[in-house]
A and B are shown apart, each in its own frame.
Chain A
Amino acid sequence: MRYIALLFIVASCSFSFSQNKQLLYGFSDIPQSLMINPGGEVKNDWYFGMPLLSHIHANVGITGSTVYDIFANDGIDFNTKLQNAVYSMGSRDSFSVNQQLEIFSGGFSLKNTLGKKEYLSFGLYQELDFIAYFPKDLAILALEGNQNNIGRSFRANNVNVAAEAISVLHVGYNKKVNDHFTFGVRGKIYSNIVNVNSTKNEGRFVTVRGQNNFYDHIFNLDLEARTSGLANLKDDDSDSNSVVKDLRKRALLGGDLGLGFDIGLTHQLNKQWSLDASLLDVGFIRHTKDIENYKVEGDYVFEGINPIFPDTGNGQTAEEYWSDIETNFEDLFKLDTTATKYTTWRPVKLNASLNYAFGKKIDDICNCENEEDIYQNKTGLQLYAISRPRQPQLALTLYYYRRLFNGLQVKTTYTIDPYSMTNIGLGMSANLKGVNFYVMADNFLELRNVYNAQSVSLQLGFNYIFNKNED
Chain B
Amino acid sequence: MLKELNKYLFLAIIIYLSLFSCVKEVDFDQADDFEISPVIESSLIFLDEPADSFIVNGVATPPISDYVEIDIFNNEFVVDNLIKADFVLEATNSINRGFEIQVDFINDIDQLVHTFTFSAPPSTDGSDVLSNHTEVFEGESLIALKNTSKLVFTLSILSGGAIDQSMPGRIALRSKAIFYLNIGEEI
A434 interfacial contact with B, CB 8 Å = no
Interface of B is mostly: strand
Report yes or no: B34 in contact with A322, Cβ–Cβ below 8 A. no
Report yes or no: B26 in contact with A71, Cβ–Cβ below 8 A. yes
Q: Output the residue of A215, A304, A441 with the most chain B CB within 10 A.
A: A304
Give the A-B contact count at a CB cut-off of 8 A: 167
Alpha-carbon separation in the docked complex, A303 to B48 (Å): 13
Chain B residue at smallest Cβ distance from A83: B36
Q: A5-B31, A148-B39 are in contact. Are A214 and B45 (CB under 8 A)?
A: no
Alpha-carbon separation in the docked complex, A68 to B27 (Å): 9
Report yes or no: A5 in contact with B20, Cβ–Cβ below 8 A. no
Alpha-carbon separation in the docked complex, A470 to B30 (Å): 58
Report the minimum CB–CB distance from B38 to chain A (whole Å): 3
Alpha-carbon separation in the docked complex, A114 to B119 (Å): 102
User: A9-23: which have CB < 8 Å to B?
Assistant: 9
Residue-wise interface mask of A (136-168) relative to B, using a CB-CB cutoff of 8 A (1 in contact, 0 not): 000001111111101000000000000000000
A374 interfacial contact with B, CB 8 Å = no
Report yes or no: A145 in contact with B31, Cβ–Cβ below 8 A. no
Q: How many residues of B contact A (CB 8 A)?
A: 57
B53 interfacial contact with A, CB 8 Å = yes
Residue-wise interface mask of B (33-54) relative to A, using a CB-CB cutoff of 8 A (1 in contact, 0 not): 1111011111111111100010
Alpha-carbon separation in the docked complex, A129 to B46 (Å): 51
Chain B residue at smallest Cβ distance from A376: B3
Size class of the contact patch on chain A = 35 or more
Which of B107-115, B121-129, B179-187 is the interface stretch?
Answer: B179-187
Q: A8-B34, A68-B24, A402-B10 are in contact. Are A147 and B66 (CB under 8 A)?
A: no
Report yes or no: B43 in contact with A217, Cβ–Cβ below 8 A. yes
Question: Footprint of B on A, CB under 8 Å?
Answer: 1-2, 4-6, 8-9, 67-68, 70-73, 77-79, 82, 141-148, 150, 207, 210, 212-217, 302-310, 318, 322, 362, 402, 404-405, 410, 426, 428, 441, 444, 447-452
**Can you list 29 A-B contacts with CB-CB less than 8 angstroms, sorted by A residue number?**
A1-B184, A2-B185, A68-B26, A71-B30, A72-B27, A79-B34, A143-B36, A145-B40, A214-B41, A214-B43, A215-B176, A303-B43, A304-B42, A304-B174, A304-B175, A307-B66, A307-B67, A307-B151, A308-B45, A309-B64, A310-B66, A404-B7, A410-B14, A426-B18, A444-B17, A444-B18, A447-B20, A449-B24, A451-B24
